[in-house]
């Protein structure tokens, strides 16, 4: 993530805006209006929406305070429209040229009439659209029954020829402008939005960045009370280009992602800019005969109680709601649940590609979704309702979780294995960054760290390979990683006092006379560090990856002693400990903020205690307590090296929760919820997260919060979605990509392995089988397993088979009990409400074997203690030692 810095300029004082920059007509004032549920402002001249607050609340979902920077032509707002059309007769084979229309391109006043035919404001947009257009567009702002705000467009063909409308989009705007805002202000005023590109069920969820307070949702507006299917599908969500780059808002940057539009028709784009890309939905167009018109509309609704209420608000608008459990990433050989709530019955469900998925009805509105035999990758279900609505649900099919993890281990330690011991930088042997498009290891990159085995971008690959051993060791892979530790990590990446360098590759030809730097790269950029800059040891983030690597090898050495040849477990645990302590010294920067992946520090602390290393445990605890105490005193403790991002939350949550700073821990959970909505298509989120690995790491926050409060299943839904993301990044051959590009002209995986590693840390530390009671009654989902399949036996005993990618962690929500093992797998477990638990341990075929595992029992949300009652098991390291010579069933009961 490191390497691209945005220079933030402080806000200019709010001087009067120059005439030339006021194409919106701000100087002529606003119309302040209200519906039952909202207070809103339209610009009088342009009639676009620029402020939207829930009634009786001062929170604005739109950037009204930055409006003066967004008043020029080409800057979009709610109420704008873009389209492409051609004469229908020119379509087809000769593919007539599409003609563009855009209400923001060259604004002219379109002062509307108020209170005409039930609308708040009605405007004919002709003046602000290209002249000579056959399209006559009328826009109405309305109060929808129930008090919501409606936005309606009537598009009439007033020409003489039939026309084909090949694109139609409604620009959206939210206050996602972080630019120039101090952290506390950003947390207070901004919001983040996520689309569900699901045709008639499509909608946009908008959550305040602080994570609590009212949330907003934009759904299709049903036009005409009697026809439920007369609504506006979301066929695509297109990123809008704005040509004005200004430093006040920094459109399209790390601090302001930019805006999108709700696209109803996309054929004209699919034929051109997006050709060759597999879109979310089938591209369509509409033909309008002379005199014919089309009506579309959107509806704004508020969820007063916040993000957890969004599903029920969406349903109340007549929009179908889908809830996928455990989410939308399904492993081959397992099935997912899909719960559909709609006012109309399901008429048919089909898969695209055909056969990729099968949906089997199990009860009203409840389907089991199963991947077809060899299906892999993206697939969607198309659900046709009796009232004519079409809903699409997007899935990603992965290999069975443990198999994908095994593939990753193999790929990273073979294809990514760099063994050129003549390398003058001392990088061999190691697991290096890989370029999947070139099918080659990245041995040079002007971002030196990417080829320099440090930073997220360069350490990511060996980090993932090592963490894989912690959850599923392989003798051959462990041997290679041990040679990496002795030959590179504990030799060149680290110095003898445990410092971690920022990169061991550098650009300084005089220092490596025989080495040929690629002349086609630009090495003059500031991030092409020379040796001294590369060897700096002052970035705390880099230490986490190293500590995690040692910890993973400690776990292997401890649970599978036959697999490590170079060192015993105590060496690796001490290396992990010393590396953390070194990172906390005053010559290292960023150690006062939360660090990506530092949940592993907590694992290291727990293992020091279990090993009886009391004095080391106490020093580490002391050091973490200082940080947690500081965060507890800060209004917004989520600092980072970037202007704004979401990398600090995981560490802040871990330690404030650990030390019992309840309010700060809760504030952190809310902050994570603010940017991780329970989205439908998993894939968009990967890119719409400002940092892709934020998905895997921040899910650790939500999963932990769920373990402390299993009544809040929303935490699990969002957290489990996030922790599944890193599984979908693993390709069929085991290569794992850093991220997925979600803009509609790309829709594909990144070619670099890059900083995937931290995402895999999230998978390794968070994956498990989680049982949750999701409520009964109408629309209730009942008792459910995420990452497993659950059965309730006659008599009430609940039996669960695990299927998550790790299979070593089980959380039984209704009992508040967490079970963990350090070797083998938990193949299944069962429990009774009274507290008797039975858990079966075994070893996966094709994976290294060992003699015994340690089983730990924790009760994060129960005041009842549990103990092992199976005779003959011995206590070990704070848990119980379970022999694994055959499958072992362990009985546990409350005391």
Ligand X SMILES: *[C@@H]1O[C@H](CO)[C@@H](O)[C@H](O)[C@H]1NC(C)=O
| Nearest distance from C-beta of residue 727 to ligand X, angstroms | 26
| Nearest distance from C-beta of residue 415 to ligand X, angstroms | 9
Which lies closer to ligand X via its Cβ, residue 289 or residue 865?
Answer: 865
Q: How many residues does the chain have?
A: 895
| Angle of CA points 272, 276, 281, to nearest 5° | 85
Which lies closer to ligand X via its Cβ, residue 274 or residue 417?
Answer: 417
- Find, among 697, 701, 695, the residue nearest to 716 by Cα: 701
Give dist(CA 40, CA 102) in Å, integer. 24
Please name the residues in contact with 810: beta carbons below 8 A apart, sequence gap of 6 or more.
768, 769, 770, 771, 800, 802, 818, 819, 820, 826, 829, 839
Residues that bind ligand X (CB under 6 A): 124, 126, 136, 138, 158, 227, 229-230, 388, 419, 865, 895
Please name the residues in contact with 56: beta carbons below 8 A apart, sequence gap of 6 or more.
none
SS3 content of the chain, % helix, strand, coil (to 5): 25, 30, 45
Please name the residues in contact with 270: beta carbons below 8 A apart, sequence gap of 6 or more.
277, 279, 283
Listed in order, strand segments (DSSP E) in 30-77 are: 30-34, 38-43, 49-54
| Nearest distance from C-beta of residue 313 to ligand X, angstroms | 24
| Nearest distance from C-beta of residue 273 to ligand X, angstroms | 28
Give dist(CA 434, CA 437) in Å, integer. 9
Give dist(CA 173, CA 769) in Å, integer. 38
> Under DSSP, is residue 120 helix (H, G, I), strand (E, B) or coil?
strand
| Nearest distance from C-beta of residue 572 to ligand X, angstroms | 24
Which lies closer to ligand X via its Cβ, residue 400 or residue 878?
Answer: 878
Alpha-carbon torsion (548, 549, 551, 552), positive or negative: positive
Which lies closer to ligand X via its Cβ, residue 293 or residue 889?
Answer: 293
| Nearest distance from C-beta of residue 186 to ligand X, angstroms | 41
Alpha-carbon torsion (726, 729, 735, 738), positive or negative: negative
DSSP single-letter state for residue 736: B
Give dist(CA 304, CA 208) in Å, integer. 12
Alpha-carbon torsion (250, 252, 258, 263), positive or negative: positive
Beta bridge partners of 78: 49, 80
- Find, among 677, 693, 678, the residue nearest to 597 by Cα: 693
Give dist(CA 336, CA 689) in Å, integer. 24
| Nearest distance from C-beta of residue 118 to ligand X, angstroms | 15
Tokens of 321: 């709601």
Cβ atoms within 10 Å, residue 55: 15
**Integer distance in angstroms from the first to the last C-alpha of the chain?**
48
Q: Please, are residues 595 and 602 in contact by the beta-carbon 8 Å criterion?
A: no
Q: Please, are residues 230 and 220 in contact by the beta-carbon 8 Å criterion?
A: no
| Nearest distance from C-beta of residue 223 to ligand X, angstroms | 8
| Angle of CA points 849, 468, 483, to nearest 5° | 85
Q: Please, are residues 262 and 170 in contact by the beta-carbon 8 Å criterion?
A: yes
Edge-to-edge order in the sheet of strand 30-34: 30-34, 38-43, 49-54
Could you give phi then psi for residue 332, rounded to 5 degrees? -55, 140
Q: Please, are residues 24 and 71 in contact by the beta-carbon 8 Å criterion?
A: yes
Q: Please, are residues 237 and 196 in contact by the beta-carbon 8 Å criterion?
A: no
């Amino acid at each position: 993530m490191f390497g691209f810095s945005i220079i933030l300029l402080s806000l200019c004082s709010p001087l009067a805006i120059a005439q030339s920059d006021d194409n919106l007509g701000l100087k002529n004032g606003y119309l302040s209006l209200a519906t039952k549920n909202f207070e809103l402002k339209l610009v009088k001249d342009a009639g676009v929406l620029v402020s939207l607050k829930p009634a009786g609340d001062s929170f604005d979902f739109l950037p009204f305070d930055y409006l003066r920077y967004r008043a020029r032509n080409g800057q979009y707002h709610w109420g704008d429209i873009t389209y492409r059309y051609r004469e229908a007769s020119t379509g087809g084979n000769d593919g007539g040229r599409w003609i563009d229309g855009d209400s923001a391109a060259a604004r002219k006043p379109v002062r509307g009439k108020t209170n005409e035919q039930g609308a708040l404001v009605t405007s004919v947009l002709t003046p602000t659209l290209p002249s000579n257009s056959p399209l006559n567009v009328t826009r109405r702002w309305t109060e929808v029954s129930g008090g919501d705000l409606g936005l309606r467009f009537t598009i009439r063909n007033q020409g003489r020829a039939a026309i084909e409308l090949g694109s139609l989009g409604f620009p959206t705007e939210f206050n996602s402008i972080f630019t120039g805002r101090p952290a506390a202000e950003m947390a207070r005023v901004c919001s983040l939005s996520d689309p569900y590109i699901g045709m008639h069920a499509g909608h946009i969820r908008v959550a305040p960045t602080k994570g609590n307070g009212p949330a907003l949702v934009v759904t299709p507006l049903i036009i005409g009370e009697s026809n439920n299917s007369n609504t506006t599908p979301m066929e695509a969500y297109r990123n809008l280009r704005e040509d004005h780059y200004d430093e006040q808002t920094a459109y399209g940057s790390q601090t302001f992602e930019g805006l999108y539009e709700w696209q109803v028709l996309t054929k004209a784009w699919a034929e051109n800019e997006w050709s060759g890309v597999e879109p979310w939905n089938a591209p369509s167009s509409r033909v309008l005969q002379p005199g014919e018109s089309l009506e579309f509309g959107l509806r704004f609704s508020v969820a007063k109680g916040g993000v957890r209420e969004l599903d029920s608000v969406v349903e109340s608008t007549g929009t179908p709601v889908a809830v996928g459990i455990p989410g939308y990433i399904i492993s081959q050989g397992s099935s997912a649940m899909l719960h559909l709530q709609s006012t109309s019955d399901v008429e048919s469900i089909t898969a695209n590609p055909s056969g990729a998925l099968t949906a089997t009805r199990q009860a009203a509105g409840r389907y089991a979704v199963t991947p077809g035999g060899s299906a892999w990758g993206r697939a969607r279900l198309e659900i046709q309702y009796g009232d004519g609505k079409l809903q699409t649900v997007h899935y990603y099919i992965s290999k069975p979780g443990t198999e994908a993890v095994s593939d990753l281990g193999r790929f990273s330690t073979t294809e990514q294995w760099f063994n050129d011991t003549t390398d003058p930088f001392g990088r061999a042997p190691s697991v290096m960054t890989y370029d999947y498009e070139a099918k080659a290891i990245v041995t040079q990159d002007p971002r030196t760290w990417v080829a320099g085995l440090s930073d997220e971008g360069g350490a990511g690959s060996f980090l993932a390979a090592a963490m894989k051993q912690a959850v599923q060791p392989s003798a051959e892979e462990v041997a290679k990683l041990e040679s990496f530790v002795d030959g590179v990590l504990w030799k060149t990446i680290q110095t003898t006092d445990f410092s971690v360098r920022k990169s061991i590759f550098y650009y300084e030809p005089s220092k490596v006379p025989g080495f040929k730097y690629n002349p086609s790269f630009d090495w003059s950029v500031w991030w092409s560090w020379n040796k001294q800059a590369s060897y700096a040891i002052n970035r705390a983030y880099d230490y986490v990856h190293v500590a995690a690597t040692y910890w993973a090898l400690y776990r292997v050495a401890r649970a599978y002693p036959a697999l490590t040849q170079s060192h015993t477990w105590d060496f690796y645990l001490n290396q992990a400990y010393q590396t953390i302590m070194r990172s906390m010294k005053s010559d290292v920067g960023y150690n006062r903020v939360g660090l990506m992946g530092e949940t592993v520090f907590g694992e290291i602390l727990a293992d020091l205690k279990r090993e009886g290393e009391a004095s080391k445990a106490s020093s580490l605890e002391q050091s973490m307590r200082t940080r947690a105490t500081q965060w507890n005193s800060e209004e917004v403790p989520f600092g980072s090296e970037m202007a704004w991002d979401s990398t600090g939350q995981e560490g802040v949550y871990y330690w404030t929760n650990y030390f019992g700073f309840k309010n700060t821990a809760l504030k952190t959970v809310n902050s994570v919820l603010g940017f991780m909505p329970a989205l439908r298509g998993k894939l968009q989120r990967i890119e719409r997260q400002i940092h892709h690995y934020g998905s895997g790491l921040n899910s650790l926050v939500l999963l932990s919060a769920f373990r402390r409060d299993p009544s809040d299943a929303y935490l699990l839904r969002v957290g489990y979605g996030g922790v599944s993301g890193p599984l979908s990044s693993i390709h069929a051959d085991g290569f794992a990509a850093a991220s997925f590009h979600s803009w509609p002209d790309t829709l594909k995986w990144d070619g670099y392995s890059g900083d995937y590693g931290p995402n895999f840390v999230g998978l390794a530390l968070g994956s498990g089988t989680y049982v949750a009671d999701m409520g009964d009654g109408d629309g209730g989902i009942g008792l459910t397993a995420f990452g497993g399949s659950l059965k309730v036996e006659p008599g009430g005993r609940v039996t669960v088979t695990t299927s998550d990618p790790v299979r070593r962690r089980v959380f039984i929500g209704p009992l508040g009990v967490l079970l963990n093992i350090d070797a083998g797998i938990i193949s299944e477990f069962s429990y009774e409400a009274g507290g008797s638990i039975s858990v079966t341990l075994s070893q996966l075929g094709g994976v290294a074997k060992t003699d015994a595992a340690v089983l730990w029992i924790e009760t994060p949300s129960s005041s009842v203690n549990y103990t092992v009652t199976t005779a003959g098991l011995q206590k070990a390291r704070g848990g119980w030692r379970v022999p694994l010579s055959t499958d072992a069933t362990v009985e546990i009961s409350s005391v």
